[in-house]
A and B are shown apart, each in its own frame.
Chain A
Amino acid sequence: MSINTENAKKIRKPMEVYCGIVAQMQGAEYPADFSASDDKLIDADYETTLANTDWPARHIVDFQGNGTPLDGSYTWYDASEVPSINNGKIGVRGHVDTPLVFTISNTAVGSIPAISIIGNNIDRIEFDGETYSGSEVIIPLVSGDYTETATVYPISGFRAEISDLIPGIIANFDNSNLISCTVAMRGDLTDSPSWQISDIEIKAYMPQNLESIIPNMADDSPIWYYAGYDGDYCETRKFYLAEPAKQGGNIITIKGEDASARLDNYNQQPQIVAAPRNTARRVAYNKFKQLIESAGVKLRESERPPAVSGSNKKERIIVLHEATARDHVANIMNLGHYGTFWPQFTDAGIPKVTWSKPTPKWLINESDIGDHVQTYTRKTARITSDDENGVTSTVTKSNSWRTITEPFDVTANQKVIQNYSDMFWAYSVANQKTRMWSTANSVAYVTKRATVKNSNGTKSYQSYVRGKRVIITPAEKNLQSPGGNIGGVLKLQNIVHGQLQDGSAYFFPRPSIIFDRQPVCGSFRFKGDPRWMPRDVFTMRMMDGSEHVCMVENVTLVHEGGGTYADVTYRQGVI
């Protein structure tokens, strides 16, 4: 069964949805001790393997129960295989029909409010006079210094297996306990876009009362989600807890954001980026990628940089002004698309960077969608800027040294940070031992020797800074659409000056690309496909037979009441 086959049906089978959260709470020490347990197999470093919930439990040949299924997914147990995310783990596995006994400890200082156990073939766990049923349990702990015995009873004929045991909460949801799961995946295809964060909201049935425990789940605890049909699931999306989880009655609500929320964490300092024409696209793409990674976004996929091609003459320079990674990323995706060079960052739980111009991935028939509404945005006819350097500019390097600071007295090994209003591409620092860092308008260094006053009244070993400036020259004050004067005026906020050139064309920043955009936007409701991403390109086949290439702006995918649908907004063209 595949998502495509089901989507082709008028009425498709209910989609299988899986999601959950892993909220580790770091206590004073790992709370479980298996050293005295009578286990059949156990990882040597079980504290590490049990706490790594994303390491899969190995499917090994085992004679418990009915034996090992011959579906090809099982391997032979190999004690020499080191547990890892790729090799998987053993965890702790008891004897058949024999309880697995271990101890759980808590401490008064750094007290843990709960532990979560995920296992297999577990009938029940008895701890501190309470009984917890099933193979996924959350055990609330009272604070204080104590050690209690936990007894894990296996299902008859099987061995109890524990694969994950963490201080904190693991909650897994599927169709059996999920009330709704909404994944809002956002882009911004307007003419002056800002980066949009995608998010997830899970509402699920939780019979256990964890009202006092779940608010302790730490921000950024990973939330995962995937959906599809047996044998064909979408890639697992990963979000991070963005606000305290809540439980009201038996319903738990969890909200998370994608990793792109971290783009605000990185502030790009003023920087000169220079590149000859043959590597300009590569340099721009690498800078784009570095902005995202510096913000703490771990990319799951990134396209190899563009190849070096063409002339290595005529170096072009841009100045990146101080702004967050979020602003720079949005700016590059708005003004840095030209020809086949189309740097794109998409997240929505699957952070990915590409530079090749996207092509249609999906075909949507207007007859298959509901509530299709087309809207028309105002075309941009003129681009202006309040910037004294205009809408576009050129940046050149001066080769003459210019004094930035007059000589001043220093002590040995003194840390000096100098900030300036002008921009410089090279520095020369007198009496410098080491350079800590430099940007286009600041330099930080450690001095070498202390300033001394000579007998004739002059001073030796003072420090001063000289630099070679970059000069920004306005190029175009305004840009007028070649299509005429029909449309609105867009005022650009320049956070980049200069332009990078590839071959004969300036490609970043290239504000005139905004004139190429089509004003047709739209929205519709679709069956819902968990593989869709913001900025996916699709072909819309209209009722009249005409076809239009469109780009997804937002997708809100809703799983609710056993059904799935998606509300999609789009803009015609490839933005």
Chain B
Amino acid sequence: MAWQEPVTTWGDTYFTHEDMNRICGNINYLCGTTLKDDYTTDDIPSRQDWAQVLLNVGNMVNGFNLPLAIPNYDVTPQNLELVESGINEAFKYIQRRSASATARRYVGSGYSAQQPPQNYVR
């Protein structure tokens, strides 16, 4: 499944199969996992399903040393924000790392037709 923009501001709303598909699809995109990402309105996700989400988000937050709290099993807007913020920050982190890797190719070159990316990290 393609990357979908995470929802990082949850209000007093409902948690739908589309939200679950976005969360699991994005985790699959980032981690190469195969979490179920085709939930329908007839599905009832289990605690074990959510445990996989928490495990992967926790690994990314800890592994990338992201300044975020680890989400838990609460079915609340705050907790879903933590999940999707974790995914979103992990995505940004990977993008930055990828951009840095690209930029490092220009270091030491006499000239370049292209400018180094703006977010080049020295």
Contacts and interface: CB of A to CB of B under 8 A. Distances in A.
Does B associate with A? yes
Contacts of B73: 75-76
Interface in B59-107: 73-77, 80
A505 interface: no
B46 interface: yes
A64 interface: yes
Contact of B13 (A62, A70, A74): A70
B44 A70 contact: no
A60 B47 CA distance: 10
B41 A96 contact: yes
B44 A62 contact: yes
Interface in A216-234: none
Contacts of B76: 70, 72
Contact of B41 (A64, A69, A72, A93): A64
Nearest to B51: A76
A505 B39 CA distance: 74
Interface string A88-130: 0000010110000000000000000000000000000000000
Contact of A76 (B16, B39, B43, B50): B50
Given A69-B14, A70-B14, A76 B41 contact: no
Given A63-B41, A64-B41, A70 B15 contact: yes
A44 interface: no
A40 interface: yes
Given A76-B47, A78-B47, A67 B16 contact: yes
Interface in A41-83: 41, 60-72, 74-79
B14 A77 contact: no
B80 A77 contact: no
A72 B17 CA distance: 18
Nearest to B49: A76
B75 A75 contact: yes
A328 interface: no
Nearest to B13: A70
B35 interface: no
Interface centre among A40, A60, A63, A75 (most CB of B within 10 A): A63
B75 A76 contact: yes
Contacts of A68: 14-16, 75
Contacts of A41: 44
A76 B46 contact: yes
B29 interface: no
B40 A63 contact: yes
B23 to A, nearest CB: 12
Contacts of B10: 70
A66 B42 contact: no
Contacts of B75: 61, 68, 70, 72, 74-76
Contact of A60 (B13, B39, B44, B74): B44
Interface string A130-173: 00000000000000000000000000010100000000000000
Contact of B45 (A63, A69, A93): A63
B37 interface: no
Contacts of B43: 63
Contacts of B15: 61, 67-68, 70
A75 B51 CA distance: 12
A70 B48 CA distance: 19
A385 to B, nearest CB: 65
A76 B45 contact: yes
A445 B53 CA distance: 68
A63 B47 contact: no
Interface string B5-37: 000001011111101100000000000000000
A116 to B, nearest CB: 26
Nearest to B73: A76
Nearest to B16: A67
A68 B50 CA distance: 14
Nearest to A76: B47
A397 to B, nearest CB: 63
B16 A66 contact: yes
Contacts of B13: 70
7 contacts: A40-B44, A61-B45, A64-B41, A64-B42, A71-B12, A77-B44, A78-B46
What 4 A-B pairs come out closest when comparing CB atoms? A67-B16, A76-B47, A67-B14, A63-B17
Given A60-B44, A93-B44, 20 more contacts: A40-B44, A41-B44, A61-B15, A61-B50, A62-B44, A63-B16, A63-B17, A63-B20, A63-B41, A63-B44, A63-B45, A64-B41, A67-B19, A68-B14, A70-B14, A72-B74, A76-B49, A78-B47, A157-B41, A159-B42
Interface of B: 10, 12-17, 19-20, 39-50, 73-77, 80
